[in-house]
Amino acid sequence: MIQASHLTRRFGQRTAVNDVTFEVGRSEIVALLGPNGAGKTTTLRMLAGLIAPTSGSIAIDGHALTRATGGTLRNRIGFLTEAPGLWDRLTIKENLRVYAGLYGLGDADRRIDRTLELFALQDRRATLAAELSKGMRQKVALARTLLHEPAVLLLDEPTSGLDPEVTRNFRMLLDERRAAGCAILVSTHNLDEAERLADRVAVLHERLVAIDEPAVLRARLTTGRVIVRVAGDPTVFVPTVQSIVGPAVVVAVDGTMLSVQLADADRQTPSIVTALVAAGARILEVRPEMPALEDVYLHLMENSLKPQASSVSPTPGAA
């Protein structure tokens, strides 16, 4: 649905986005992560057809996004900017009606009423935009973005200013749009949100540093430690584990968990489990210690500043 090929954008002498290639498939959510100034908003603006890339190309559902095709393709895109502008002297419903007119929606009243209901804005439809809180303005902007039921969603910090209940409803809404075949690219600073929302995570720092499923990114930074959670006091089983890994290896205890660094987890873990069961342990859980997405993100950012390429290399996904 969304194809970005070797996108580069320069502003004078400054390069905001440098040779970025990735795809977002139908029924997929990709979260775009990166520090301030990494090029996330610039990338979204290029994909929305608001600014042209200095070089590179964009395709929406197999059609090249150019000056000639931009007007038609933009009707298939819903773009939420980081600081969405509303007409302050117009009511919520009037703001939506203006956009319905811009998109040429013949069933504007039906869509507006349905969207107001979806975002629980029926009781506020006559409220002037100037009177809205930041969170309410964000809700109206989201409603406006989805009004024409776009096939592609580009969302820049969509949950900024939203309360937890509205944020949860928004996540459910994105799940519904994904199930309906929408391709969704979400720029966010919230790593927890990225992991909960996205099928894949793209880390951007002028260049594309990495793109993959969150679990795959974490696995590439695995610590090599294995966690075993047992019923009762785990300290009595420390000697059992050390009989497998050797006395020089430290077996840490944390609550009901044993933690041990393994040289070959695939080979040694089954032996540890067998020995623990033989020693009378009731094993509740066995898992590799996986880094948090935050740790992976910081690792990637650190490596992106080095001359050598990151050990977690970009892996463009299929549409």
pLDDT in tens, 146-185: 999 899 999 998 887 777 877 888 888 889 999 999 999 9
Q: Is the pLDDT of residue 8 over 70?
A: yes
Does any domain span residue 299? no
pLDDT higher than threshold 60 for residue 78: yes
| Residue 319, pLDDT score | 39
**Same-domain pairing of 173 and 203:** yes
Residues 54 and 196 in one domain: yes
Same domain for 32 and 155?
yes
CA-to-CA distance for 315 and 286, rounded, in angstroms?
Answer: 29
Query: Per-residue pLDDT for 21 more than 70?
Result: yes
Strand order in the sheet with 207-212: 77-80, 152-156, 183-187, 28-33, 200-205, 207-212
Which amino acid appears at position 235 of this protein?
Answer: T
Asked whether residue 52 falls in the same domain as residue 180, the answer is: yes
Give the C-alpha separation, 6 to 3, whole Å.
10
Asked whether residue 300 is domain-assigned, the answer is no
144: left (phi over 0), alpha (psi -120 to 50) or beta: alpha
Query: Is 275 found in the same domain as 146?
Result: no
Euclidean distance between CA atoms 77 and 183, whole angstroms:
10
Q: How high is the pLDDT of residue 306? A: 67
What b/e readout covers 70-99, taking b as 16+ CB neighbours within 10 angstroms? Answer: beebbebbbbbbeebebeeeebbbbbbbeb
C-alpha to C-alpha distance for 49 and 59, rounded to whole angstroms: 10
Euclidean distance between CA atoms 96 and 101, whole angstroms? 9
Show which of 203, 218, 233 is a domain's final residue. 218
What's the confidence (pLDDT) of residue 87? 93
pLDDT at 85: 83
Mark which of 199, 218, 237 sits at the end of a domain.
Answer: 218
Burial (CB < 10 A; 0-12, 13-18, 19+), residue 257, is middle
Per-residue pLDDT at 207: 93
Structure confidence at residue 231 as a pLDDT band (50, 70, 90) = very high
Owner of token pair 């910081």: 298
**Site of tokens 């393994």:** 262
Residues 168 and 255 in one domain: no
Based on the domain organization, do 136 and 53 belong to the same domain? yes
Examine residue 201 and state whether it is found in any structural domain, yes or no: yes
Residue 147 lies in a domain: yes
Res. 310: pLDDT tops 60:
no
- What whole-number distance in Å separates Cα of residue 138 and Cα of residue 213? 28
Q: Does 307 map to a domain?
A: no
- What mean pLDDT do residues 37-51 have? 94
Asked whether residue 26 falls in the same domain as residue 99, the answer is yes
Confidence of residue 312 (pLDDT cuts 50, 70, 90): very low
Q: What is the torsion angle, in degrees rounded to the nearest 10, for the CA atoms of residue 162, residue 168, residue 170 and residue 173? A: -170
Q: What is the CATH number of the domain that holds 256?
A: 3.30.70.270
Task: For residue 60, tell me if it sits in a domain.
Answer: yes
Q: What pLDDT is recorded for position 314?
A: 52
Determine what percent of the chain is predicted with pLDDT higher than 90: 59
Based on the fold, state whether residues 71 and 210 are members of the same structural domain. yes
Same domain flag for 194 and 272 = no
**Number of domain units in the chain:** 2
Percentage above 70 pLDDT, the chain: 94
- Kindly state the average pLDDT of the residues 92-121: 91
**Residue range of the domain that includes 210:** 2-218
Give the SS3 label for residue 158: coil
**Mean predicted lDDT score pLDDT of the chain:** 88
| 246 within a domain of the structure (yes/no) | yes
What is the reported pLDDT for 297? 79
Out of 104-118, 235-249, 281-295, pick the least confident. Answer: 281-295
Radius of gyration of the chain (CA): 24
Strands 77-80 and 152-156: parallel
pLDDT, residue 26, reads: 95
Residue 265 pLDDT level (bands cut at 50, 70, 90): confident
User: Alpha-carbon distance 237 to 257, whole Å?
Assistant: 10
Residues 115 and 251 in one domain: no
* Confidence band for 110, pLDDT divided at 50, 70 and 90: very high
Same domain flag for 44 and 184? yes
Most confident of 10-19, 257-266, 301-310: 10-19
Instruction: Evaluate if residue 191 carries a pLDDT over 70.
Output: yes
pLDDT exceeds cutoff 50 at 67: yes
